Amino acid sequence: MNPLQMFQSKPIEAPPEIEQAALRSDRFRLEREYDWKRLEAILRRMESGRLRKVPDEELLELPALYRTAASSLSIARETSLDAATVAYLESLVQRAWFQVYGPRSSLIDWLRRFFGGGWSAAVREIWLEICIALAVMVAGTVVGWLLAAQDKEWYFSLVPTDFADARVPGASRKVLEESLKGVDKIDGLSFFSAYLFSNNAKVAIMAFALGFAFGIPSLMLLLQNMATMGAMLWLFSGVGLTGDFAGWLAIHGTTELFAILLAGAAGLHVGRSMAFPGNRPVIEAMAQSGRRSAQVMAGVVLMLVFAAVLESFARQLIVDTNARFSVGGGMLLLWLGYFFGFRRQSARGQV
């Protein structure tokens, strides 16, 4: 036989190290492949949108199968198994992680749950903080009135210069009445709306953000802002324009002040959980209250948008006091009905 032919027909033997690595990889796969395939089958049904067809026992088994696959991936990387096995496990673990820990719904589903009861449930859960914040806001209004009535200099200290243009102590009834009237056209009101939203959002965000200091700064901010309103209420009542000023304020204030009330209550809720965590660790108490307060604040932003539109358009275009009261009262009933009258069992506890 030709020596070249003998050389070509002789089988090529792999080095012992490669054979051992291949054998180890095959054994590793055979010992765990059943769990991998089972996990992959569950994931395939869930990813195809057939979640209802997945039995409950398989859903309960999903976290355990995910941990098994993650452990297998860790071992495969540490022992330098073949690249195909590692790549397969990486893909499997990533898909399983998304189903176990990732977002379980789309933005549309989240919005449906949020407006379908999730937001109102979060507001009802902080009812105690809402009562405290409301009491502070009422007290701030009374304090502002009394301080301005005692000394007119307090009025200038409490009321920002943006509002104290013609609305100052000593102004005539006619001047003050003119300041409550609207405009005949809507030119430029969109820019005014954006300014008002920005200004109100700053107050609400500050009332919420300052809650970390046990809620005390949040309450102080509410007290200060409502003292301003109390001082202005004193000014207009002095010339017999209490009802007109209340209507001027109500058309947007029932939404704006409600939003600020909720923001302050949300900040107080976080601060109270830090000061009085109960049997829970402080970090856990803060996390739970933070999630609840964040949901409340998401709705507060929407309320402030409504308030800015009402303040810049409706208040400027509607000049009749009774009509202003009707709009403001209708908005108040809407918010109260949604927060405390609308309850949905499926929305409880969802964030």
* Mean per-residue pLDDT, 223-243: 94
Whether residue 264 contacts residue 207, with contact meaning beta carbons closer than 8 Å, is answered with yes
**Torsion sign (Cα): 218, 221, 223, 225:** negative
Residue 344 pLDDT: 62
Instruction: Give CA torsion, residues 15, 17, 19, 24, to 10 deg.
Output: 180
* Mean per-residue pLDDT, 106-118: 81
Q: What is the largest CA-CA distance in the chain?
A: 126
- Res 30 pLDDT > 90: no
Residue 293 pLDDT: 92
Kindly give the residue spans of alpha helices, DSSP state H, lying in the chain. Answer: 3-9, 16-47, 56-78, 83-101, 107-113, 119-125, 127-150, 153-158, 173-179, 189-209, 216-237, 242-275, 282-309, 315-317, 321-336
Q: How crowded is the C-beta side of 81, counted as CA atoms within 13 Å?
A: 21
* Mean per-residue pLDDT, 84-96: 85
Residue 346 pLDDT: 39
Nearest CA to 48 out of 85, 95, 90 is that of 95
* Mean per-residue pLDDT, 125-144: 96
At 136, the pLDDT band (50, 70, 90 cuts) reads very high
In one-letter notation, the amino acid at residue 144 is: G
**Torsion sign (Cα): 120, 124, 127, 129:** negative
pLDDT in tens, 164-176: 668 889 899 999 9
Whether residue 296 contacts residue 351, with contact meaning beta carbons closer than 8 Å, is answered with no
CA distances from 53 to 100, 104, 110, 224 (A): 17, 16, 22, 57
Whether residue 129 contacts residue 272, with contact meaning beta carbons closer than 8 Å, is answered with yes
- The answer to which of 10-19, 175-184, 309-318 has the lowest mean pLDDT is 10-19
Q: Determine whether 245 is exposed, middle or buried from the number of CB atoms within 10 Å of its CB (0-12, 13-18, 19+).
A: buried
pTM reported for the whole predicted model: 0.69
Residue 345 pLDDT: 47
Nearest CA to 264 out of 224, 304, 307, 218 is that of 218
Nearest CA to 69 out of 29, 103, 108 is that of 29
Tokens of 179: 């300041």
Tokens of 347: 């929305």
Residue 16 pLDDT: 52
pLDDT in tens, 157-210: 998 876 666 888 989 999 999 888 876 555 555 555 666 677 788 888 888 888
At 53, the pLDDT band (50, 70, 90 cuts) reads low
> Can you tell me the distance from the alpha carbon of 270 to that of 290, in angstroms, rounded to the nearest whole number?
6
Tokens of 291: 């999630």
Question: In angstroms, how far is CA 226 from the centroid of its own chain?
Answer: 25
Q: Where are the domains of the chain?
A: 15-101, 108-347
pLDDT in tens, 241-259: 999 999 999 999 999 999 9
